[in-house]
Amino acid sequence: MNKMELVEAVLRGERVDRPPVSLWYHFGIQHESGERFAQTTLAFFDHYDLDFLKVMNDYYYPPPPGLEAVRTREDLMRIEPLDPDRTPWAEQFRALEIISRRLNGNACFLDTVFDPWQTIKRNMAGENMDLLMEQEPEALLEALEIVTQNLVSYCKRSLELGSWGIFLSIPGGREILSRENFLRFAKPFAQRLLAAIAPFGRMNTAHIHGEDLFMEDVLDLPVQVLSWWDRSPKGPSLAWVKERFGGCVMGGIDQSKVTRSSLATLREHVRDGVELGGRERFFLANGCSIDTWVYPGAIKAVVEAAREKP
């Protein structure tokens, strides 16, 4: 099978000889143009000969002009509908156009998006997010709804440009927010976003970010793939999720080991990951972003071990 055939077979639930493999990290060039980002992304994909490409997205959501911190109800009310093409996301769109043209149907790619809750927290509310959830819940909910619609517009454009799916990062760990707040401020908006783009993505993926996860609460998300740090001390395991979720799972590689292990140990770790994931409905990948200073030989060892004949 070629790369596309392998990915398509896994998505259909067919048994395969080996899982498709990919890895990723943040390149740290969000100050550069979309052209430069596309070149770096494609060079990474080609150098390591990955089976599918997860395109990172470090072009941040644009805050309201002149607003350096979202602290109050009034600040939240300044978050408004926007045209994605008139934001820094235009550089991501340019990169996606280049990547799509270059891959030319020979490999598929996903586009990374941060869910509405993280979008507001990352570069607008920051340290104020807990306070906003406590003191201004209704205003925050209204702002989350606006951001959700803006992200839906972004995602639809990305899928039009050739993305096979949106890789949506969702905060789902108790160390990030309480389950009550997750169910009120995070999940409903992620779920609405994913439902809105469900007809357009062939490989939409929900990445449940965190360590002590609310995994039972995300099994109903409308996606083809679930991703999480399955090999963390708290799991849950790939097998546990496959028994409860009808789609595919993505994981098997502990990202914390990729830059801290000998090549021999890393190869054995990957072999174990392949066994844990099985031959059906499984994409082999890191549970979260690996370190940028990774030894190139480590990634090559991962890919080689993933492609060993059973």
Say which residue the tokens 């490409």 belong to: 53
pLDDT along the chain (310 residues), means of 10: 97 98 97 98 98 97 95 98 95 98 97 98 97 98 98 98 98 98 98 98 98 98 98 97 98 96 98 98 98 97 94
Say which residue the tokens 């509405």 belong to: 116
Report pTM.
0.98
* CA of residue 143 relative to chain centroid, distance: 22
pLDDT at residue 147, rounded to an integer: 98
Phi, psi of 4 (to 5 degrees): -65, -45
Q: Which contiguous run of DSSP H or E holds residue 121?
A: none
User: Which ranges of the chain does DSSP label H, i.e. alpha helix?
Assistant: 3-11, 34-48, 73-76, 89-103, 116-120, 129-135, 137-160, 179-181, 187-197, 238-244, 255-258, 263-277, 296-306
Q: Quick one: tokens of 42?
A: 């494609």
Query: In terms of C-beta distances under 8 Å and separation of at least 24 residues, what long-range contacts does 186-190 make, across chains too?
Result: 186/115, 186/116, 186/117, 187/217, 187/218, 189/115, 189/116, 189/117, 189/144, 189/145, 189/147, 189/148, 190/115, 190/116, 190/117, 190/221
pLDDT at residue 309, rounded to an integer: 85
The Cα–Cα gap between 219 and 214 comes to: 10
Task: Tell me the residue range of the domain where 280 lies.
Answer: 3-306
CATH number at residue 214: 3.20.20.210
pLDDT at residue 80, rounded to an integer: 97
Phi, psi of 112 (to 5 degrees): -85, 135
> Domain total for the chain?
1
* Residues 6+ positions from 5 with CB-CB distance below 8 Å: none
CA-to-CA dists, residue 212 to 173, 208, 294, angstroms: 5, 10, 26
**Residue 53 bridge partners (DSSP):** 109
Q: Quick one: tokens of 235?
A: 């799991």
pLDDT at residue 48, rounded to an integer: 98
The Cα–Cα gap between 73 and 139 comes to: 6
The Cα–Cα gap between 38 and 55 comes to: 9
For β-strands 165-171 and 205-209, DSSP reports them as parallel
CA-to-CA dists, residue 189 to 17, 146, 184, 186, 195, angstroms: 37, 10, 9, 6, 10
